[in-house]
Amino acid sequence: MKNLLRPAVALFAVLTVMTGIIYPAVVTAIGQTVFAHQANGSLIEKDGKPVGSEVIGQQFDAPEYFWGRISATSPNPYNAQSSGGSNLGPTNPALAAEVKARLGALRDADPGNTAAVPVDLVTSSGSGLDPDISPAAAAYQASRVARARSLTREQVDQLIAQNTSGRQLGVLGEARVNVLKLNLALDQLKPIHQAGLK
């Protein structure tokens, strides 16, 4: 028994040190050296203080801001602790009601806009945390935001273009606009003192 126990304990100790101490230390060192921004949450700062993350959306519903995708997380929107889709199928009445409510909110915020609403403004992503919208979704909201901030449409379009990222590696995914970065750029161009990002 002693002959079996000694190598088992030694192997356990070696594996514990390797997988519980050395491996995490090496991975952490690589992450902090090569990918420090991502390893620390991809934080976005304003005036030296973090206001959000590049990879987790935030709730915006004021007319002077661009709105992101619907969040399917509960009990609060964009809750990273309960990341996940709604699991509602295309024929589910609850999904239809959610889409109808969002369409109503978009139309109420911009009654004169008769353009087709881009699908990403009325649906949630698989994670429920998507921080990005399509350039089409940003363009759909541009007139409303320009009016609410007393900006020209050209100024707003220019901000959208400056905050649009192309496909990853030129082929993966689609062009996208980070909503928080775009809204911060709006506040920098023309602050909304009573409703600006803190």
Contacts of 121 (CB under 8 A, 6+ apart): 67, 69, 102, 106, 133, 137, 140, 141
3-class DSSP assignment, residue 94: helix
Mean local confidence (pLDDT), 30-38 = 82
Map out the domains of the chain as residue ranges. 1-40, 42-189
Give tens-digit pLDDT for 145-163.
999 999 999 999 999 999 9
Higher pLDDT, 6 or 135: 135
Higher pLDDT, 10 or 177: 177
| pLDDT at site 194 | 42
Amino acid occupying residue 101? A
Contact 144, 109 (CB under 8 A): yes
Distance CA 101, CA 117 (A): 13
C-alpha 75 chain-centroid distance: 17
Instruction: Considering only CA atoms, give the Rg of the chain.
Output: 23
Q: Look up tokens 């959610």; give the residue.
A: 98
- Both structure tokens of 72: 């399917």
DSSP 5-51: HHHHHHHHHHHHHIIIIIHHHHHHHHHHHHSHHHHTT-EEEETTEEE
* Helices (H) then strands (E): counts for the chain: 7, 5
| pLDDT at site 145 | 95
Categorize the per-residue pLDDT at 192 as very low, low, confident or very high, splitting at 50, 70 and 90. Answer: low
Q: Is pLDDT of 197 > 60? A: no
Q: Look up tokens 């803190």; give the residue.
A: 198
| pLDDT at site 46 | 86
Mean local confidence (pLDDT), 179-186 = 95
Mean local confidence (pLDDT), 71-81 = 80
| pLDDT at site 139 | 96
pTM: 0.79
Amino acid occupying residue 7? P
Which 8-state DSSP code applies to residue 116? Answer: P
| pLDDT at site 198 | 44
Distance CA 139, CA 85 (A): 25
Q: Is pLDDT of 196 > 60? A: no
Higher pLDDT, 154 or 81: 154
Among 50-64, 77-91, 127-141, which is the least confidently predicted range? Answer: 77-91
